[in-house]
A and B are shown apart, each in its own frame.
Chain A
Amino acid sequence: MTKKSSATADKQETDGVAKPAASSAAVNARLSPEEKIGLYRMMVRIRRFEERSLRSYQAKKIGGFLHLYIGQEAVAVGCCSLMGKNDHVITAYRDHGHALAVGMDMKPLMAELYGKSTGCSKGKGGSMHFFDPSRNFWGGHGIVGGQVPLGTGLAFALKYRGLKGACMTFMGDGAVNQGAVHEAYNLAALWQLPVVFVIENNGYSMGTSQARSSAGDLARRAEGYGMAWGVCDGHDVYEVRAAMDGFLSEARENSKPAVVEVRTYRYRGHSVADPDNTYRKREEIEEYKRSKDPIHVFHNALVAEGVLDEAVAAQIDAEARAEADVSASFAEASPFPTVAEITQDIYWEEDNPSEKKSQGRMFFG
């Protein structure tokens, strides 16, 4: 594939309606009404799950950091909806949306936030560290940019094993300045690994705007490594799918890496406890919500297509709220990890004593 140019040049005003060009792209045109409803339902489920988790955080049922994905739902849903059986996903610490989008159940996710042993990581990972390798989801990583070499390694493994798949390696706009990201770009391009680096650009690396942290265009840095790149808007799930489809196909079929910048926006603070008024104005958030809310945009598109009506939308919403409530009840009722569990799940060998080959003491007092 030749290098992509920025899609911003021919960017259209959206004003709450999905662009016709994206909705008629082949990857979207072939979606059945049920599949479209499925995409919509997934975005709503992510939104309601996170809103429910925020209430639990405010009630001090959840501690630590809570990096909410609210506003960015179309990115994870659009990208993950394109996954085939050999496609893989790895992301950073704002990972709730990706976890749900790959098909994880709400209950173990909420329980993980509560620090319960029924959590997806048994209460050992927390909000930033959701994993489900059975769904090709490799986390959930807390160090900015640290997951990007890992995603490159997953792609290496795919190529080495001759599997036709791709690894979508997500990062935020703050990660693009980390050295590990550039090292991973170089390796991916040097060895033509099937990885698509997805920069979810929500405009702010914590409280520092893109203008104050990153020189140049974020995805254009791929040119320095001879990689294809592109930019798309992330509030429109159709556009995300249309933009990603070609890059993913190139990765799967021809083992070509690429960098895609998806422009999106988060409604809450970096983590919910962080002040949100030092670096942006309330009006900016409200304007995005009014004109580009990804659920609202897709809702309108599907209503216009005759795929969705208000009754179905209300039902989806009610079901998502109920599911989130059930997950919170499940989390509430679940036990915390015991002291004995603190030293489990560290070494494979200790967890599989019948196959243990090593001797000696592994843990120290």
Chain B
Amino acid sequence: MPLLSYRDAIRQALAEELQRDANVVVLGEEVAQFNGAYKVTEGLLERFGPKRIIDTPISEAGFIGMGVGASMLGIRPVMELMFWSFYSVCFDQILNNAANIRYMSGGAINCPIVIRGPANGGTNVGATHSHTPENVIANHPGLKVVCPATAYDAKGLLKSAIRDNDPVMYLENTILYGDKWEVPDEEYLIPLGKADIKREGTDLTIVAHGRAVINALAAAQLLEREHDISAEIVDLRSIRPLDEETVLASVRKTHRVLLVDENKPFCGVGAQLAFMIQEQAFDDLDAPIKRVSAIDAPAIYSAPAEIEQLPNPQRILGAAIEVLR
């Protein structure tokens, strides 16, 4: 099977859906002539032309809102936020319009829009450009949220997101853009709300999403090699909808849980998971649930400190050993 980078997988998904449906348009800052700030949309302008691939001004509230409006009238906009961190300047359009219009219209309207872009820290750019809003977004009924960790998942989830009739917030990670994974040539879709066991194990369940999955996999190797601990890694892939069954099945198998995400801890995705696990699998737990989140502070600029602020294999390893103690 050919190896494809996470970046190229996203581009392939965009190209395939642009090819399939004439109502799909790609809009965002620098997506066309500049070929994408992170080169995700490279070559799409040349292939699909300026009607389909559109550079926007730096005007997130304007163009995201415009995309929501266009989605109400038959367009399927795929909007790029150069950084998901900029959601704050267009959040009224996302939460009051994309999320609420269907409800406030009694189901008369739907907004098939995708908003995508990187949402991660760890790049030495300081607090304004390092937000991870998946928990904030998932707090708003009406929105769907996906966080792919691999190229395979990125492609399959984005294709599903573009075909989805609800607004899907698609959170990428700049650090993963260059990672290569096996991606088949033939077309495939990954449904939203389906978690993936990225590694089978028997002693401990680690639940993660996005780049935390990759760090958890690295930690699992260390656990195996250095501590003879077999960790199972559940990659949520989708935050809302959430695949509870896969998480609970793993918990019932291993009886111990470590939650890892790059979010801040307070009201993070892990908080919801911990509640859900204790509610539905209390008797299956042999130890308190632990979690590894970003250290609870704005994202620090200093690179070595930022590595420690985010979940990394060593932090995950240490927490895993505590769960098993």
Contacts and interface: CB of A to CB of B under 8 A. Distances in A.
Interface in B51-70: 51, 56-57, 59, 61-70
B57 A360 contact: no
Interface string B100-118: 0111111111101000000
A124 interface: yes
Interface string B191-213: 11111000000000000000000
A363 B92 CA distance: 22
B61 A180 contact: yes
B142 A146 contact: no
B104 A125 contact: yes
A347 B51 contact: no
Contacts of A154: 69-70, 72-73
Nearest to B239: A360
B189 to A, nearest CB: 8
B96 interface: yes
B75 to A, nearest CB: 5
A190 B102 contact: no
Interface string A330-365: 000000000000011111110110000111111110
Contact of B66 (A138, A149, A359): A149
Interface stretch (B125-133, B159-167, B215-223): B159-167
A157 B75 contact: yes
Contacts of B263: none
Contacts of A46: none
A90 B66 CA distance: 13
A186 B59 contact: yes
Nearest to B143: A347
Contact of A132 (B71, B72, B108, B243): B108
A180 B165 CA distance: 25
B65 A150 contact: yes
What's the interface size class on A, roughly? 35 or more
B97 A357 contact: no
A348 B109 CA distance: 9
B104 A140 contact: yes
B230 interface: no
Interface string A31-53: 00000000000000000000000
A120 interface: yes
A362 B240 contact: yes
Given A150-B97, A358-B192, A158 B110 contact: no
Given A131-B108, A348-B102, A364-B272, A156 B66 contact: yes
A315 B107 CA distance: 37
A360 B243 contact: yes
A129 interface: yes
Nearest to A344: B107
Contacts of B166: 347-349
Contacts of A179: 61
A362 B194 CA distance: 12
Contacts of A125: 103-106
Interface in A168-202: 179-180, 183-184, 186-187, 190
A319 to B, nearest CB: 28
Nearest to B62: A183
Q: Which of A143, A180, A344, A349 has the most CB of B within 10 A?
A: A180
A349 B142 CA distance: 10
Given A154-B69, A156-B70, A180-B93, A187 B63 contact: yes
Contacts of B244: 360-361
A91 interface: no
Q: Which of A119, A125, A157, A187 has the most CB of B within 10 A?
A: A157
A153 interface: yes
Contacts of B61: 149, 179-180, 183
B25 interface: yes
A31 to B, nearest CB: 29
A266 interface: no
B191 A122 contact: no
Contact of A146 (B93, B191, B241, B245): B93
Interface string B174-198: 0000000000000001011111000
Contacts of B106: 119-125, 131, 345
Nearest to A152: B66
Interface string A115-159: 000011111111001011110001111110011111111111110
Nearest to B245: A360
Contact of A361 (B56, B69, B164, B242): B242
16 contacts: A88-B73, A90-B69, A120-B106, A125-B104, A143-B96, A150-B72, A152-B66, A153-B69, A153-B73, A154-B70, A156-B69, A343-B141, A346-B103, A349-B165, A352-B165, A359-B243
Interface of A: 88, 90, 119-126, 129, 131-134, 138-143, 146-158, 160-161, 179-180, 183-184, 186-187, 190, 343-349, 351-352, 357-364
- 10 A-B pairs with the lowest CB-CB distances in the bound complex, closest first: A153-B69, A149-B65, A360-B193, A183-B62, A345-B107, A150-B69, A122-B106, A360-B241, A157-B73, A131-B105
Given A120-B106, A180-B93, A358-B160, 18 more contacts: A90-B69, A125-B105, A131-B101, A131-B105, A133-B109, A140-B104, A150-B97, A152-B62, A153-B65, A153-B68, A153-B70, A154-B70, A180-B92, A184-B62, A346-B103, A346-B142, A348-B166, A359-B191
